[in-house]
Amino acid sequence: MEIPNEVKKSAFNNLIKQGFVFRLRGDIPFESEDYHVFAVLNFDPKTGDVLLLTNGTSQVEKQTNYLRRTHVDVEATTVILEAGSYSFITKPTLFNCNSVHTINIEDISFDNDDAKLIGNQLSQEDVDRLVNAALASDNVLPEYKKLIRPDVSNQKEEPDGNQSNE
């Protein structure tokens, strides 16, 4: 028996929280016929229409080489989950937290199985790793960082110990 899309959408909306993972294919947040694993970064995704997502890739070496060539601090701004760490992670998977995708929660479609619930939540330790990696990235906008961790200020500590406004 096929589960109606409205039921899938309702379950998604009820389950979603920071660290929630799901598979997505289609045109959002980027066009792809293949499924990609996404993790929700919003501290409280139920309080707005926009989801902040980071996606996982099994092309770990290719992605880290690219990031190093572009002078990104790979260790501080990415998270690698080892194969088997979760049932849906069958290969080492890198989450590049320099690349945060935004989508409207209403745009997620369960038609044609474009979105699939994996049924898993990342451990708090792994959620913290993703959050810290996104906050460490200069590529993540300050307004997104506030949605990821509300207590984040727009101030950055300078090497001399003083604070500057961004």
pLDDT digits (tens, 9 = 90+) for 75-101: 999 999 999 999 989 999 999 999 999
Q: What is the pLDDT of residue 28?
A: 61
What residue type is 132 in one-letter code?
N
Strands of 82-140 (E only): list them.
Answer: 93-96, 101-104, 115-121
Q: What is the pLDDT of residue 120?
A: 73
The mean predicted confidence, pLDDT, of the chain is 85
> Residue 27 in 3-state DSSP?
coil
Which pair of tokens denotes residue 19? 């660290």
- Domain boundaries, given as residue ranges, for the chain: 5-165
Q: Round to the nearest angstrom and report the end-to-end CA distance of the chain.
A: 53
Backbone phi and psi for residue 46, each to the nearest 5 degrees, phi listed first: -80, -10
Check residue 161 and give left, alpha or beta (phi > 0: left; psi -120 to 50: alpha): left
Q: Which fold has domain 5-165?
A: SH3 type barrels. (2.30.30)
The residue-averaged pLDDT of 142-158 equals 77
Which of 26, 2, 21 is CA-nearest to residue 107?
Answer: 26
Residue 61 reports pLDDT greater than 60: yes
Residue 64 reports pLDDT greater than 50: yes
The residue-averaged pLDDT of 34-61 equals 90
Residue 161 reports pLDDT greater than 80: no
Q: What distance in Å separates the CA atoms of residue 107 and residue 93, rounded to the nearest whole number? A: 26
Higher pLDDT: 38 or 13? It is 38
Residue 34 reports pLDDT greater than 90: no
